[in-house]
Amino acid sequence: MAAVRSGSMLSGLLRRGAQSSQATNHGARRSMSGPPAAPALWSAVHGMFDADVPLTEPFPGVPTPTPRERPPVSPVRVTKLDNGARVASVDTGDRVSSVGLFVRAGSRYESAGANTGVCSLLEHMAFRGTARRSKFLQTRSLEKTGASFGASASREVLIYSAEGMRAAAGSLVGEIAEAALESMVMGATQGTPEWDAARAEIKTQAAAMADHPELSAGDASVELNELLHATAYNSVGLGMTSLPKADKVGNLAPDVVASYVSASHTPERMVLAASNVDHDTLVAHAQKHLGSARAGGGALPESSAHYTGGWARSASAPASGGGHVAIGFESLSWAHEDLVPLCVLRTLLGGGSSFSSGGPGKGMYTRLYTGVLNVHGWVDACAAFNHVYSDTGLFGISASCVDGAYLPHLVDVTTEQVGAMARVPTAEELGRAKAMTAAALVMDLESRAVLCEDIGRQLAIGDTYMTVEEVLKQVEAVTGEQLAALAARVTGGKPTVVVVGDAYETASYEEIASAVHKQISA
């Protein structure tokens, strides 16, 4: 009915037909008092609703809806099971739940050459068959829940997640636990049908990765980020690629994958997080499906972050053409007391693409927009980045240009902006950055999936949880002098410089480092 009131095509056709049939008695209608009668055809189709009721008035006879008060949001609760697994949740009273199992098992815990790409493989194999059920049987079971399931791998965390109705929370936890702990590679021995099935699935997922270049290091922005990490951490630990080549993944043997799962998917490395689930109920489900998990065999490689910095160039032209540059520095870890001010600094620098629809909150007045994108028309994109990990971080600026001939100028412009980070912001800049940081945080956490991920990631990476109220309080306390001192401290270290494209005639690493440090000390 709302569609008819808003002027649908059917409504217009009906009214035009009625108007033409009443043209002969138009004068008589005008002399009558009161509102005009509804057309006969309209009344026959729509009953009592008058075609001429304006949108500013309620329909006659339709009761006014009673607003439902939102139930109070429970605080985040955390429970530790006897085996060491942690269970965390928040309940906002909604009917749809988001559940995720967060495993501290990212690419930084892989062994170069031995199992490179295993995390990406586990991401793609999740919910596609287990050691207990075939892909067909598991898919039928997933469909019965009416929920959506997925997995994602990063450098430090592997996530198995689901979203479904609140009443199905137990089924969601069960499906997630089976996908994570009972992968089809578990228990498969060479020469058995299980081994052949697991090997075939590995080949299938590797082929799927090859068919989607955006899932591997073939995209220019992906290549830039991967090269940045490899250079900053000397291709070890966090420097290990998180998006491996498909051929490397396809060569992994089932027993190699199973060994990694046994070593990484242990209770003390797992956090089961959820939003819109009663905490005691979630703990009971976790005890049922995760309580029997025990420490597996084998050990993961030592993965302490060793930042080295340095210079790397990829002379081959990227698929997107043009040129790309990133200048970064070792920054702060997840638990550092100045992490929130660093996030405000990243918002203050801002940036983005040269094309934007504008509008409030798009960052059109951030420093990199006003100082780069609005000044140099040849710059395609320029933005600050802030990669935060459990024991270290990377902070800096990346930029790109469509025409590779501008790459030397792009390096100079990016260097200038990095050196200017330590400039004390104006009161207007600072106020805008703090407001944008707070607004983005609050709006993001309105999503149940983001809320669940926020809880899980904080506990899996940092071992503690900071509430949104605590973060907002720190944001409000940030000062301009604090940001300038923080920027000077971060950029005073050894830089990591990465250039993708034809790097001929670009400034050298020594020239870039010297220019940055000279600006900071000025």
Residue 392 vs residues 232, 264, 271, 327, 461: alpha-carbon distances, Å: 11, 21, 21, 16, 11
Q: Answer yes or no: is pLDDT of 11 > 80.
A: no
Put simply, whether the predicted model's pTM sits higher than 0.85 gets the answer no
What's the CA gap between 89 and 83, in Å, rounded? 19
Q: Among 249-263, 397-411, 456-470, 472-486, name the most confident range.
A: 472-486
Q: Answer yes or no: is pLDDT of 268 > 70.
A: yes
User: What whole-number percentage of the chain has pLDDT above 70?
Assistant: 85
Tokens at 479, concatenated: 């000062």
Q: What is the mean pLDDT of residues 446-466?
A: 92
Sheet of 351-353, strand order: 310-314, 496-500, 323-330, 393-401, 379-388, 351-353
- 387 Cβ partners below 8 Å, 6+ apart? 229, 393, 394, 395
User: What whole-number percentage of the chain has pLDDT above 90?
Assistant: 56
What's the CA gap between 380 and 398, in Å, rounded? 11
Per-residue confidence band for 38, with pLDDT thresholds at 50, 70 and 90: low
**Nearest Cα to Cα of residue 77 among 63, 61, 59, 91:** 91
The DSSP call for residue 67 is P
What's the CA gap between 13 and 85, in Å, rounded? 64
Q: Answer yes or no: is pLDDT of 299 > 80.
A: no
pLDDT at residue 4, rounded to an integer:
36
pLDDT at residue 272, rounded to an integer:
98
Tokens at 86, concatenated: 């942690």
Q: Is 335 helix (H, G, I), strand (E, B) or coil?
A: coil
- Whether 88 and 77 have beta carbons less than 8 Å apart is answered as yes
- 452 Cβ partners below 8 Å, 6+ apart? 98, 99, 100, 161, 273, 274, 275
Average pLDDT of the residues of the chain: 85
Q: Which fold has domain 77-290?
A: Cytochrome Bc1 Complex; Chain A, domain 1 (3.30.830)
Helix/strand/coil (H, E, C) string of 4-33? HHCCCHHHHHHHHHHHHHCHHHHHHHHHCC
Is the dihedral angle over the CA atoms 350, 355, 361, 365 positive or is it negative? positive
- Whether 46 and 62 have beta carbons less than 8 Å apart is answered as no
- Whether 257 and 153 have beta carbons less than 8 Å apart is answered as no
- Whether 383 and 350 have beta carbons less than 8 Å apart is answered as yes
Q: Answer yes or no: is pLDDT of 6 > 70.
A: no
Which backbone phi and psi does 472 adopt, to 5 degrees? -60, -35
Q: Answer yes or no: is pLDDT of 362 > 60.
A: yes
Domain with CATH 3.30.830.10 in the chain: 77-290, 310-521
Per-residue confidence band for 37, with pLDDT thresholds at 50, 70 and 90: low
Q: Answer yes or no: is pLDDT of 260 > 80.
A: yes
Per-residue confidence band for 5, with pLDDT thresholds at 50, 70 and 90: very low
Q: What's the one-letter identity of residue 165?
A: M
Exposure of 179 by Cβ count < 10 A (0-12 exposed, 13-18 middle, 19+ buried)?
buried
**Nearest Cα to Cα of residue 339 among 179, 461, 244, 240:** 461
CATH 3.30.450.40 fits 310-521, yes or no: no
Q: Which residues pair with 271 in a beta bridge?
A: 86, 102
**Nearest Cα to Cα of residue 385 among 242, 224, 199:** 224
What's the CA gap between 141 and 172, in Å, rounded? 11
Q: What is the pLDDT of residues 89-125, one digit of tens each?
A: 999 888 999 999 999 998 999 988 888 889 988 998 8
Q: What is the pLDDT of residues 419-428, one digit of tens each?
A: 999 999 999 9
What's the CA gap between 476 and 151, in Å, rounded? 35
